[in-house]
Amino acid sequence: MKVEKHFAALAVCLVVLFASSFAPYSCEAPREAAAWVKIAGAALLLTGFMYPLAYDVISFLTYRLGWEGSFDHLEVFPGDPPSPNAQPVALKTKLLLFYPIDLAAIIFVLLPLWMYAANCG
């Protein structure tokens, strides 16, 4: 069921992108010729930040509904690129540190950036 969870997380990200593009946002700047670059960049950035959170929520829901026997969350590794013997970030650390920072970045920076790009170009 892992492939289905990946598609479901991607679908959740696309639904958020689609729904938030209709949010009321006032701007006076006319659309530019290269507006699609800003729109695509903001959409990819928002999806990249939102995807791990959406996947883990979907994975937790499938576990709680009894569709899967265990909670199979995404493994996040520290460092860029991670060393070959690096251990993934613990689930408790993800819940207390990684996801609150990720959610704050989505809500306060990336979602307004996406809404501005989608509405104002």
Quick: pLDDT tens for 29-59: 556 666 778 888 888 999 999 999 999 999 9
Percent of the chain with pLDDT over 70: 88
H/E element, 91: helix 91-93
pLDDT at position 39, please? 81
Rounded CA-CA distance 70/74 in Å is: 13
Lowest-pLDDT choice from 1-5, 30-34, 104-108: 30-34
Express each pLDDT in 67-85 by its tens digit.
888 888 888 888 777 778 8
Question: Measured between alpha carbons, how far is 62 from 6 in angstroms, rounded to an integer?
Answer: 12
Q: CB within 8 A of 69, min separation 6: which ones?
A: 63
Cβ within 8 Å of residue 25, ≥6 positions away: 115, 116, 119, 120
Give residue 27's identity as a one-letter amino acid code. Answer: C
